[in-house]
Structure 1
Amino acid sequence: MKIDRERVQNTFAEYTGRYNAADPKIKLKIDHTYRVAELCELIAKDINLNEYETDVAWLTGMLHDVGRFEQIKRYGTFSDAQSVDHANFGADLLFKEGLIDTYVDDFYEDKYGAIVETAIRNHSKFRIDEGLDEYTVMFCNIIRDADKVDIFRVNIDTPPEEIYNVTTYDLKNSTITPEVMAAFDEKHAVLRAYKKTAVDNLAGHIALTFELVYPISTRIAKERGYLDKMMAFESDNDVTRKQFEEIRRKINEYVQSKDR
């Protein structure tokens, strides 16, 4: 598989140019893609992957959300629950309908083609598919970490009302459901089915911290202020304010434990 970064970027720009870049949702995903690719590269270098492996990780970042653009065009939403699984949808566009051939040559001539496809299909799953070899799992974890870290950034750069499609009143006055709070005790991400209230979505994104695999990912999220700014959410509900005090305590304890 031959990876020409300039070609990949030009192809991505041409592809996304078919959609309405003036739409904030489209621009959000374009910007997100470039940042995730950069984070994939940072993680790959930090774990001492070679130059080609780093290019593969970067390529996965560039391609991971290709399905988002057609998703919003066809369904008018980025909600997978209300439309399609965007990871599999994008992977099908790339690897079943041949879109990948516009990005790289000889995609299926070595093992990395299958690795990229597997990583893209697994990047937004609650858990990575069982039975994968450790090398493939590593690339899955790189894109999953990079995606999560930039999700944190999106949460502080974009009004939460836009991200979660909720009103300010609901966001400021709802409480976090017990199942979502339990994730902070058990130190894991929150299943989508457990998110019932407007503020559950924010808490669920904060809980992604527990799923970060590589130390550099946690370090970036902390050093760039993403976690602190997300946890600084100010609720108008006394119960929720106490819940966020508990979230801050548990996340900070967890991050500190990863630094030791």
Structure 2
Amino acid sequence: MMSDAEVPGLEPLRAWFASYCDSFRSADPEQQRNFDLKEKHTRNVCLAARRIAQGESPRFCTLAEVAAVCHDLGRFPQFRDYHTFKDSDSVNHAHLSAQVVKQRALLDFLPREEREAVEIAVRLHNAFEVPAGLPPETEKLLRLLRDADKLDIWRVFIEYFETPEEERPSAAGLGFPDLPGCSPEVMDAVRKGKMVHLSSLRSLNDFKLLQLSWIYDINFVSTLRLIRERGVLEQFAAILPADEAVADVLAQVRGYLERRLKEGAGAA
């Protein structure tokens, strides 16, 4: 496998990211918690991208990490300027990330075709669906980045509920009220195997179900294995309302996960 030393530009990009995070340091502990959240998230997405890409070409693994480093650069100015991570109340953070990448010429060490693939993956990683018509390698990179991003967002979200309220990163819950129960239309969408739209949410419990529905959008068998290995469904069961309707939805999602794993047995 190609070593980092054989990929000019990757180590400087990692170093640049550290200095970029430092440039947003805040004396306000509440603000800094949110910046720290995104720095840790990015580093974890880099690790997840590498792990999901195991078995792919060394070059593809490198591009996966490059895309992961860049994917949430827009979160930092987004929170600094708008004090939220909710794109609908501020800016599209993925588009802003792609803008930072271009403005800082971060990908000049890559050939044009690879540079364009990374830029597209960064700009579209938060799209509701992967658009049709992308070059195959670009689509593959985008799908991998989306998987790696979801894997760590689940960790962030679970940790949010395990953290004392006064120590939580304020923007992680997107400002949804912590109301009892779940909206029937959101429950119904997950039960039918559909992704939930952010615009349909009314509460923090609905937001939990939206994240649960992301399992229907996972692309790589290796990601599905990590979901089971990390006990993602069990963790969501622990933070969702303990009632029969929710248990049915969780069983539906668990069945989908197991079917996909069985279909992908022996695959990369």
TM-score band (shorter)? Answer: 0.7 to 0.9
- 1:166 deviates by 5.2
TM-score by length of 1: 0.87
- Read off the aligned partner of 2:48 and give its amino acid letter: L
Out of 153, 158, 161, the residue aligned to residue 159 of structure 1 is: 161
The answer as to 2:91 corresponding to 1:84 is: yes
Out of 206, 209, 214, the residue aligned to residue 208 of structure 1 is: 214
Report if the CA contact (8 A) 1:36-1:61 is conserved: yes
- 1:34 deviates by 0.6
Distance 1:84 1:63 in 2: 17
Report if the CA contact (8 A) 1:231-1:247 is conserved: no
Aligned to 1:26: 35
- Count matched residues: 245
Aligned to 1:248: 250
Aligned to 2:4: none
Report if the CA contact (8 A) 1:115-1:139 is conserved: yes
SS of structure 2 residue aligned to 1:158: helix
Distance 1:29 1:231 in 2: 25
Q: Which moved more, 1:77-86 or 1:186-195?
A: 186-195
- 1:234 deviates by 4.9
Distance 1:94 1:216 in 2: 28
- 1:221 deviates by 1.5
Runs of 5+ in structure 1 lacking a partner? none
Quote the RMSD (CA, aligned, Å): 1.9
Distance 1:136 1:144 in 2: 12
Q: Compared with structure 1, are the counterparts of its residues 234 and 139 closer, same or farther at alpha carbon in structure 2 (3 Å cutoff)? A: closer
The 5 A counterparts of 1:136-147 are 136-147=138-149
Distance 1:211 1:243 in 2: 22
The answer as to 2:14 corresponding to 1:9 is: yes
Tell me the percent identity. 25
Report if the CA contact (8 A) 2:191-2:249 is conserved: no
- 1:253 deviates by 0.8
Aligned to 1:127: 129
The answer as to 2:56 corresponding to 1:56 is: no
SS of structure 2 residue aligned to 1:179: helix
Output one character per residue of 1:20-59: Cα deviation in whole Å (capped at 9) or x when no partner.
26511111100000110111111111xx321111100111
Distance 2:223 2:194 in 1: 16
- 1:3 deviates by 4.3
Distance 2:8 2:183 in 1: 45
- 1:6 deviates by 2.0
Out of 193, 196, 200, the residue aligned to residue 202 of structure 2 is: 196
Runs of 5+ in structure 2 lacking a partner? 1-6, 263-268
- 1:228 deviates by 1.0
Aligned to 2:225: 219
- 1:243 deviates by 2.8
Q: Compared with structure 1, are the counterparts of its residues 115 and 3 closer, same or farther at alpha carbon in structure 2 (3 Å cutoff)? A: farther
Distance 1:80 1:243 in 2: 30
Report if the CA contact (8 A) 1:152-1:221 is conserved: no
- 1:258 deviates by 1.4
Report if the CA contact (8 A) 2:150-2:214 is conserved: yes
- 1:196 deviates by 1.7
SS of structure 2 residue aligned to 1:12: helix
Q: Which moved more, 1:122-131 or 1:137-146?
A: 122-131
Distance 2:249 2:76 in 1: 33
Report if the CA contact (8 A) 1:3-1:55 is conserved: no
Q: Which has the higher helix share?
A: 1
The answer as to 2:234 corresponding to 1:228 is: yes
- 1:133 deviates by 2.1
Distance 2:226 2:151 in 1: 8
Distance 1:254 1:140 in 2: 23
SS of structure 2 residue aligned to 1:126: coil
- 1:227 deviates by 2.2
- Read off the aligned partner of 1:25 and give its amino acid letter: N
Distance 2:174 2:87 in 1: 14
